[in-house]
Amino acid sequence: MGYERISDANIINEKYMDSILFEERLIDSIAADTEMEFLGEKFSMPIFMPAFSHLSNFGGRELTGLEEYSLAAKELNVLNFVGMVENDMFEKIVNTGAKTVRIVKPYADNGKVRDQMQFAEAHGAFGIGMDIDHIFGTSGYDICMGENMTAQSADMLRSYVEASKLPFIVKGVLSVRDALLCADIGAKAIIVSHHHGRLPYAVPPMMILPEIKEALKGRDVRIIVDCGIASGSDVYKAIALGADAAAVGRAMLPSLEKDGTNGVKSCFSNIRDELRYVMSFTGFSKVRDIDGSALRFTR
């Protein structure tokens, strides 16, 4: 039999997540509750919106997909994220009333980075951040939607943190080394992610998560995980391995496309219900109590 090489980090990631199984702990268990706290605010579940961009008006509807999922975030009381957008679109998103983190691109035009961060702060963002895993393309620095990206030093990141009163979140952390640098520059949270497989053979975020969690012990840095998270079981595994919350991106796209805000609400509610179910089955009634003791690793 031939051996087929797999470099796609999305496939490697799915296989890793599916290799983790649950024990049951039913005696003395009570029905779980999915409320949680993140950076001083209460949310209904540890399941956050993704930092998306480029979503236009699905089905010819009036609002863009970005606004539709932001409305769902507001109605569900979950933390909202948005990625590469111009200021006018950011304003529409924040005006939905969703608590929103703006993830700014590592633009080569540093004035644009600072302008977008300042705009976010002035218009009521919950937090700001940067996706540091979108610096490189295969020919050098990446170009996205005609915008050049460039390298970001620790000093540059620190200067963004110092320029704002908002919590700063670094997205695209996939090593203990970068996680510790994020703590050093004063980031309040990181998103452990490979940005849907930008790097071939990228380590599954959940595989490296326990090491990152351990390295950040005693540092004031919260952890979010994304990539391939599509069910309550996936969210549970992320939390059990050390995350405070997980973000669901591509898995909610079909519901968003079909039914807009209501589709996303129903998708997230289903994921939350499965999370609650697995928590109850494994003996954890509160999100903050979940640990890895009910996980079984099969590889």
Ligand X SMILES: Cc1cc2nc3c(=O)[nH]c(=O)nc-3n(C[C@H](O)[C@H](O)[C@H](O)COP(=O)(O)O)c2cc1C
- The answer to whether residue 233 forms part of the interface with ligand X (CB under 6 A) is no
The verdict on 237 binding ligand X (CB under 6 A) reads no
The verdict on 240 binding ligand X (CB under 6 A) reads: no
* DSSP, res 68: H
The total number of residues shown for the chain amounts to 299
194 is catalytic: no
Nearer to ligand X, 84 or 166 (CB): 84
Tell me the β-bridge partners of 131: 171
**Where would I find the beta strands (DSSP E) of 149-264?**
168-173, 189-192, 222-225, 245-247
User: Sign of torsion, CA 292 295 296 299?
Assistant: negative
- Is 103 a binder of ligand X (CB under 6 A)? yes
Instruction: Give the nearest distance from C-beta 193 to ligand X in angstroms.
Output: 5
Strand 36-38 to 41-43 pairing:
antiparallel
Q: Is 171 in the site for ligand X (CB under 6 A)?
A: yes
Answer for the pair 280, 30: CB distance below 8 angstroms, yes or no. yes
Instruction: Give the range of 36-44, 47-55, 93-101, 149-157 binding ligand X by CB under 6 A.
Output: 47-55
> Phi-psi region for residue 140, left (φ > 0), alpha (ψ -120 to 50) or beta?
left
User: Is position 54 an interface residue for ligand X (rule: CB under 6 A)?
Assistant: yes
Catalytic position from the list 54, 123, 134, 195 = 195
Residue of 224, 229, 287, 290 interacting with ligand X (CB under 6 A): 229
| 46 contacts ligand X (rule: CB under 6 A) | no
Element (H, E) at 229: none
User: How many residues make contact with ligand X (CB under 6 A)?
Assistant: 21
Residue 161 or 294: the one with the smaller Cβ distance to ligand X is 161
177 near ligand X (CB under 6 A): no
Shortest gap between Cβ of 90 and ligand X (angstroms)? 12
Q: Six-digit token pair at 253?
A: 């796209």
131 near ligand X, judged by CB under 6 A: yes
Helix axes 176-185, 154-162, angle to 10 degrees: 40
Give the one residue of 118, 176, 250, 295 binding ligand X; rule: CB under 6 A: 250
Shortest gap between Cβ of 75 and ligand X (angstroms)?
A: 20
Task: Tell whether residue 286 is a contact of ligand X (CB under 6 A).
Answer: no
Angle formed at CA 238 by CA 178 and CA 175, multiple of 5 degrees: 15
216 vs 198: CA distance, rounded Å = 25
- Annotated catalytic residues are 195
Instruction: Return residues touching ligand X (CB under 6 A).
Output: 50-54, 83-84, 103, 131, 171, 193, 195-196, 226-229, 248-251
